[in-house]
């Protein structure tokens, strides 16, 4: 496998063509951003930590029967993935209230949500990722009704697998965002699952162990990501 030209540089990762038209290389950079790119910093080791974290989680999900784009680790900061036709829709499940849910609905942070909630957002930085629903997604062609149904099933299935995995490590999976894409007529989990795209709290102390440390200037961002990873059994360099 040969890495070719860069296709796209996002806020945290870059996507490269390969000599295989059906595969991309994802490069996890140290760049960190929040608030739609308004707050930006380089955090040493972040690319490596998120790449290894994501590989570990994607393998767990694949083993549980959830189709993912992940193929293999290529280097500390690079992964080989299936090329997907990404859908511009972010799927969010919440087990505990936090973040935009609290701001939007005026509910207190830390409330247990039963059953867990499911929300859709349009992936569009210029519009600040507005909340959408299935009707809007179908009407505007962002995804078909059957694709949305499958994304919802898979997003909740991810919750079953990961909630249990985190719980065993004394961690609370508060919420997370997933992105899906199409390949060969199938809906497949793409992008990444790392502490950048979810909220994780220590079960006993409720310490924030995710990107909220960066958003809220709490410090020790990557050290804390690594602690989460180590508690899950991930080996870092
Ligand atoms: P953003 O685009 O939000 O700034 P990133 O920096 O994480 O985000 O960039 C990675 C980009 O790669 C995202 O736009 C994501 O949708 C896209 N992507 C992730 N996985 C795949 C894949 N398997 N095939 C094609 N594109 C992908
Ligand atoms: N999230 C993300 N990317 C986004 C928006 C949200 O990874 O563009 C994640 C976020 O880290 C959290 C979950 O999705 O784990 C729910 O985010 P929320 O709607 O509360 O928004 P935020 O508070 O991050 O603005």
Longest dimension (CA), the chain: 50
CA distance 102 to 127: 20
CA distance 205 to 18: 45
Instruction: Judge if 7 and 41 occupy the same domain.
Output: yes
Which DSSP helix (H) or strand (E) runs through 163?
Answer: helix 145-168
As a whole number, mean pLDDT of residues 124-133 equals 96
CATH code for the domain in which residue 14 is found: 3.30.200.20
- Expressed as residue numbers, the domain containing 41 is 3-82
CATH code for the domain in which residue 140 is found: 3.30.470.20
Ligand 1: centre distance to CA 170 (Å): 30
Instruction: Judge if 43 and 145 occupy the same domain.
Output: no
Q: Beta 198-202 vs 39-42: how paired, if at all?
A: unpaired
- What pLDDT, in 10s, does the model give residues 168-199? 999 999 999 999 999 999 999 999 999 999 99
Q: At 218, list the tokens.
A: 């709490």
Where b means 16+ CB within 10 Å and e means fewer, 164-178 reads ebbeeeebbbbbbbb
Instruction: Judge if 111 and 156 occupy the same domain.
Output: yes
Using alpha carbons, select from 54, 88, 41, 64 the residue that is nearest to residue 176.
54
Which pLDDT does position 11 carry in this prediction?
96
Domains contained in the chain, number = 2
Ligand 2: centre distance to CA 21 (Å): 32
The answer to whether position 190 is within a domain reads yes
Instruction: Judge if 65 and 111 occupy the same domain.
Output: no
Which pLDDT does position 1 carry in this prediction?
86
Last residue within a domain, chosen from 82, 115, 141: 82
Taking 90 as the threshold, does the pLDDT of residue 8 lie above it? yes
- What pLDDT, in 10s, does the model give residues 40-71? 999 999 999 999 999 999 999 999 999 999 99
Q: What is the pTM of this model?
A: 0.98
**Taking each helix axis from N to C terminus, what angle separates 46-63 and 145-168, rounded to the nearest 10 degrees?**
110
Instruction: Judge if 35 and 77 occupy the same domain.
Output: yes
> Would you say the CB of residue 177 lies under 6 angstroms from ligand 2?
yes
Q: Ligand 1, atom 11: nearest CA belongs to which residue?
A: 10
Q: Which atom of ligand 2 is nearest to the CA of 177?
A: 14
What DSSP letter does each residue of 77-142 carry, written as one string?
TEEEEE--EEEEEEEEEEEE--HHHHHHH-PPTT-EEEEEEEEEEE--GGGT--EE-HHHHHHTTS
Ligand lying closest to the C-alpha of residue 88 = 1
Instruction: Judge if 47 and 108 occupy the same domain.
Output: no
Using alpha carbons, select from 135, 132, 131, 134 the residue that is nearest to residue 101.
131
Last residue within a domain, chosen from 23, 48, 82: 82
Ligand lying closest to the C-alpha of residue 198 = 2
Last residue within a domain, chosen from 82, 105, 130: 82
- What pLDDT, in 10s, does the model give residues 81-112? 999 999 999 999 999 999 999 999 999 999 99
Burial of 199 (0-12, 13-18, 19+ CB in 10 A): buried
> Would you say the CB of residue 129 lies under 6 angstroms from ligand 2?
yes
At residue 237 the predicted structure's pLDDT band, cuts being 50, 70 and 90, is: confident
As a whole number, mean pLDDT of residues 220-230 equals 98
Which pLDDT does position 36 carry in this prediction?
87
């Amino acid at each position: 496998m040969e890495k070719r030209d860069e296709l796209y540089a996002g806020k945290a990762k870059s996507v490269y063509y390969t000599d295989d038209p059906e595969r991309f290389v994802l490069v996890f950079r140290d760049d960190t951003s929040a608030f739609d790119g308004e707050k930006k910093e380089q955090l040493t080791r972040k690319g490596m930590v998120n790449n290894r974290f994501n590989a570990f989680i994607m393998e767990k999900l694949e083993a549980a029967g959830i189709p993912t784009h992940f193929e293999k680790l290529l280097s500390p900061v690079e992964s080989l993935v299936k090329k997907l036709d990404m859908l511009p829709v972010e799927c969010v499940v919440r087990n505990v209230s936090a973040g935009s849910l609290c701001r939007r609905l005026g509910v207190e942070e830390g409330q247990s949500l039963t059953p867990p909630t499911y929300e859709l957002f349009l992936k569009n930085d210029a519009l600040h990722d507005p909340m959408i629903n299935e009707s809007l997604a179908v009407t505007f062609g962002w995804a078909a009704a059957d694709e949305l149904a499958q994304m919802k099933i898979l997003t909740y299935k991810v919750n079953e697998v990961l909630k249990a995995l985190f719980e065993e490590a004394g961690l609370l999976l508060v919420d997370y965002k997933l992105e899906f894409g199409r390949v060969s007529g199938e809906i497949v989990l793409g992008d990444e699952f790392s502490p950048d795209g979810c909220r994780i709290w220590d079960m006993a102390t409720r310490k924030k162990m995710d990107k909220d440390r960066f958003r809220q200037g709490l410090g020790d961002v990557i050290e804390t990501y690594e602690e989460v990873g180590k508690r899950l059994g991930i080996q870092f360099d």
